[in-house]
């Protein structure tokens, strides 16, 4: 196995994969749908056929997961104990409040927390806890959500570093998110309307002034609940976040714990979790749309029961063996180097193998390799990154791989990296100059809108601004002959996330159009036409002084 990387804790934290990373670096697995890549799926030939070919029977080619616990490729694989519990639970009926009470009590015994609750995913759990903190368990308030008129508690205080795509679940309750950046700002933001404080677990650290321990010093004297989102973390017993001052901690059931994919685990204050359960199905109100069944509830409990018995050290050694198989094979490719990373943090805790090379030498970037592996059979999902012109890489993450995947992945990656490729052709001179103001008509799945592009062209390179429905953002791109590609990314200041727009088309002097790719939000179509300014040949009179009347 390759020599382990030596990195500081800060560097490890920076390199650690997070749920948000998928949105930052893109997901090659979305490419078949966006670009219509051939070979990624087959035409459905008949009815659903359970068994090894169940996905192929509906025309979908499955993937080997060397990427991690990303929901878009299925999260994790349920443990045999989980499937057995769910299968047994579905054969009998039970009153769900009684089930929740029994499971909550057993989760408390297993984890040392005051109480436990199962939700239909981590995000649903965030929503239910927010409802509990806003209503205080008052059902008359509960059924009025998201209209919070007349409510005393309507605000959630959150460090700016904890604003992510996942806080949609919190905002669904109708609360106002109050962003803060310093302990002083947090202390000043807390008031009579503060329902709770929300923190992302992976935003903690000794160098962060708003880590959990510091926040607890501010919140506890004021009796403000703290909700910690630890979705991608391993389960610690006793829970380190509760020990540091969190009121409730939310985990994904379908990630490290390997419970049902559509389940979440909440641990903490019994009073708040009872109010959160009140806000969850089978009860009516804002959580009815996040139903968790008896099967998922007992399956999640089975996953926690299994967690305390699993041989985690043996699992780790197995993962290292799989990465060693891949490492030995790909190192035979001239110009390729490998490095092993064994993280010690709680989030996305899995060994991973980084495979690096000079893109000028192999005539391919890590993103190119990841796309080829994702869109040709057998499909493999893995990470990719290009840090500079002289280094690019792909990353194999071990913990969701299945026995035998290592051998398949080793051969596939070796085949892609060892393939002879010609140098990338030089860019062609631009066929047109796209400088100017463009009106852009976008057609979505069910609706249309108009955007504006303001472009400046310097040879093959394009820069400018993109005015969307709600913001103006910077844009960059290139034109190679008549083929133009443009991209803009929003800052996400208002919602914690943003939508990328990637335009690609054959350009002409007066117009261009084609697909626009929006990352996880799939695709749309666009048509850009030069903005037509009104023609008005009229001299403008400049007054000599202020008007005597208006």
Per the model's pLDDT, the better-predicted residue between 374 and 6 turns out to be 374
Between the alpha carbon of residue 69 and those of residues 119, 183, 223, 233, 312, the distances in Å are 18, 33, 35, 10, 17
State how beta strands 511-517 and 501-508 pair.
antiparallel
pLDDT for 501-519, tens place per residue?
A: 999 999 998 899 999 999 9
Over residues 280-293, the mean pLDDT reads 94
CATH number of this structure's domain 9-73+312-418, picked from the four choices 3.50.50.60, 3.90.1150.180, 1.10.630.10, 3.30.540.10: 3.90.1150.180
Q: Tell me if domain 80-307 and domain 436-530 are identical in fold.
A: no
pLDDT at 389: 67
pLDDT in tens, 321-366: 999 999 999 999 999 999 999 999 999 999 999 999 999 999 999 9
Q: Quote the Cα angle for 396-398-401, to 5°.
A: 105
Cα distances (Å, whole numbers) of residue 101 to 141, 279, 469: 23, 15, 47
Which of 7-11, 134-138, 529-533 comes out lowest in average pLDDT? 7-11
pLDDT at 459 over 70: yes
pLDDT for position 387: 83
Global confidence as pTM:
0.87
The band of 104, judged by pLDDT with boundaries at 50, 70 and 90, is very high
Mean pLDDT of the chain: 90
Q: Tokens representing 404?
A: 């035998």
Q: What's residue 288's pLDDT?
A: 94
**Using one digit for the tens of pLDDT, what is the confidence trace for 241-258?**
999 999 999 999 999 999
Domain ranges in the chain? 9-73+312-418, 80-307, 436-530
The CATH fold assigned to 80-307 is 3.40.640
Greatest Cα pair distance in the chain? 89
- The CA distance from 270 to 96, in Å, is 17
| Contact status, residue 419 vs residue 499, Cβ threshold 8 Å | no
Tell me, what's the pLDDT at 181? 93
Domain covering 436-530, topology:
Lipocalin (2.40.128)
pLDDT for res 45: 64
What is the reported pLDDT for 530?
Answer: 95
- Which residues are registered as beta bridge partners of 504? 485
Q: Give the pLDDT confidence score for residue 204 in this predicted structure.
A: 55
- Percent of the chain at pLDDT > 70 equals 90
């Amino acid at each position: 196995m390759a020599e382990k990387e030596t990195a500081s804790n800060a560097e490890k934290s920076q390199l650690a994969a997070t749920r948000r990373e998928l949105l930052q670096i893109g997901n090659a697995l979305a490419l078949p749908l966006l670009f219509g890549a051939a070979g990624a799926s087959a035409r459905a030939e008949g009815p659903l056929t359970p068994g090894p070919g169940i996905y192929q029977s509906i025309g979908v080619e499955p993937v080997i997961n060397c990427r991690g616990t990303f929901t878009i490729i299925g999260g994790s694989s349920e443990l045999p104990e989980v499937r057995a519990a769910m299968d047994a639970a579905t054969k009998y009926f039970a009153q769900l409040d009684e089930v929740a009470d029994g499971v909550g009590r057993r989760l408390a015994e297993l984890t040392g927390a005051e109480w436990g609750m199962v939700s239909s995913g981590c995000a649903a759990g965030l929503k239910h806890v927010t409802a509990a903190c806003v209503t205080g368990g008052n059902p008359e308030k509960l059924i009025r959500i998201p209209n919070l008129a007349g409510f005393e508690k309507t605000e959630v205080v959150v460090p700016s570093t904890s604003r992510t795509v996942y806080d949609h679940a919190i905002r669904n309750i109708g609360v106002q998110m109050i962003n803060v950046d310093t302990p002083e700002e947090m202390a000043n933001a807390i008031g009579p309307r503060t329902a709770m404080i929300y923190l992302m677990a992976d935003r903690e650290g000794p160098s962060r002034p708003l880590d959990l321990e510091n926040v607890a010093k501010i919140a506890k004297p004021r009796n403000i609940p703290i909700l910690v989102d630890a979705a991608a973390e391993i389960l610690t017993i006793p829970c380190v976040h509760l020990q540091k001052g969190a009121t409730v901690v939310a985990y994904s059931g379908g990630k490290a714990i390997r419970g049902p994919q559509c389940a979440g685990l909440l641990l903490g204050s019994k009073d708040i979790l009872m109010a959160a359960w009140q806000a969850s199905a089978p009860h009516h109100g804002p959580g009815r749309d996040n139903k968790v069944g008896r099967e998922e509830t007992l399956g999640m409990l089975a996953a926690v029961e299994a967690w305390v018995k699993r041989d985690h050290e043996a699992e780790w050694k197995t993962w290292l063996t799989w990465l060693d198989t891949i490492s030995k094979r790909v190192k035979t490719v001239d110009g390729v180097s490998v490095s092993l990373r064994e993280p010690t943090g709680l989030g996305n805790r899995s060994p991973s193998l980084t495979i690096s090379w000079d893109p000028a030498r192999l005539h391919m970037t890590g993103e190119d390799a990841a796309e080829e592996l994702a869109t040709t059979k057998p499909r493999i999902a893995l990470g990719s990154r290009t840090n500079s012109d002289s280094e690019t890489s792909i990353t194999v993450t071990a913990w969701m791989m299945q026995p035998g995947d290592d051998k398949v992945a080793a051969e596939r990656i070796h085949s892609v990296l060892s393939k002879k490729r010609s140098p990338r052709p030089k860019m062609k001179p631009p066929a047109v100059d796209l400088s100017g103001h463009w009106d852009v008509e976008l057609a979505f799945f069910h609706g249309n809108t108009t955007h504006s592009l303001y472009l400046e062209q310097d040879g093959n390179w394009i820069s400018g601004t993109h005015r969307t429905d709600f913001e103006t953002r910077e844009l960059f791109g290139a034109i190679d002959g008549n083929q133009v590609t443009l991209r803009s990314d929003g800052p996400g200041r208002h919602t914690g996330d943003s939508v990328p727009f990637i335009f690609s088309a054959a350009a002409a002097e007066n117009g261009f159009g084609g697909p626009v790719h929006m990352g996880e939000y799939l695709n749309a179509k666009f048509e850009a036409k030069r903005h037509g300014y009104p023609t008005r040949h009229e001299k403008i009179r400049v007054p000599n002084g202020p008007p005597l009347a208006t």
